[in-house]
Amino acid sequence: MKTHYRHLRCNSFAIIYLFYILFYVFIFYLYLIFIYLLKIKYYSNPMPNKTITWQEDLRANNHSESPRSRLSGVLSITTGKAGDTEPITVHASLQGTLVGIPLPDGKMGKMVSDTDHKKAWFKDLVKVTMRLTDQHGQVYLPLSRIQSSPGTVNSSGSITSSITVSSGVNASVGFFGGTPTGNVGVNSGTSNTNSFSETLNDFIIQEDADRSTVSHTYKMVTMANGAKYERPADLLPPSKLNFASGIIDLFTPLKLYNPPPQAIHSMPFLDQAYWQAGDNGLISEPVKIEIIVEVHAAMFEATGTANVPTNPHAATWIAHHRHSVPLELDKLVQTTHSAPL
């Protein structure tokens, strides 16, 4: 009887001990679920996104054959704060933006003058600058550039622009000249990669960036026939006149080289950049993103013949497009984690 009672008592203690184990396991899983829900609240919700479109036409003067420039802008902005302990981030992309040289009637895809003796107007250089500024138009230094794309691309064809924006990041970033150094590692949270491609034939891209500003220069490097291009006068074919060899053809008609189609048609942009604050604090002053686009419209003309060209004349007109958008980061509070775009 005593032995039976002792067994029952041992079984009761085992059941109670097992109950306590299951209880603490249950509490532990509740804790994990709570942490997961917090991560969803602070990190998994997407940052607010706003897209602004605009169009601006500029022209040198009222003359019918004067150069013009058209910027059809598309600016996508994502701003926010992934959590109370995370820094403010800003991502901006110009995907979908086009620039071109329109005709006086507004149409695109042709030059004002396209004859054997004159080529006008075509774009041979476009410089795009993106930066964050304060209310006085000065560069806003508390937000540093972490990434920009597409970088320097010394070959034409299909070009990809790609940036990864992370939410819930510990960033330790320094700068050596204009180059970011250090590590940007994801502690927790999510990351989003914005990647797109465009085709740029006969143009290359050169990037120039520092801790707050990034510029991409789209530069024409070849003509329609594949010949090297550096300046408008390169549209004039080299003379083949050679008295030593007896080649003294003075009557072959002059025929200038043609700019490539990309210099005449609308050209897409691949610019995007990602900025991040140096700490997890808030911002108390207005901040804007500023887009500056410099378009070089070129022309060249000459008379005479192929081997004896005369009166060569080159010209370049530079258009300056500027557009700024308030980011409203000063309205961001710790409890909302996103700017009211």
pLDDT digits (tens, 9 = 90+) for 149-188: 999 999 888 999 999 877 554 433 333 233 343 333 334 4
* Percent of the chain with pLDDT strictly greater than 70: 77
Q: What is the pLDDT of residue 200?
A: 94
Report CA dihedral (54, 60, 62, 64) to the nearest 10 degrees: -100
What would the mean pLDDT of 6-30 be, rounded to a whole number? 69
Q: Which residue ranges make up each domain of the chain? A: 1-44, 50-331
CB neighbourhood size of 322 (10 A): 12
The neighbouring-strand residues paired with 202 are: none
96 against 334, higher pLDDT: 96
CB neighbourhood size of 157 (10 A): 10
- Model-level pTM? 0.78
pLDDT digits (tens, 9 = 90+) for 200-214: 999 999 999 999 999
Q: What is the pLDDT of residue 190?
A: 59
CB neighbourhood size of 273 (10 A): 24
Q: What is the pLDDT of residue 303?
A: 95
Q: What is the pLDDT of residue 168?
A: 54
Domain 50-331, CATH number (from 2.70.240.10, 3.40.50.300, 1.10.10.10, 1.10.3720.10): 2.70.240.10
pLDDT level of residue 15 (50, 70, 90 thresholds): confident
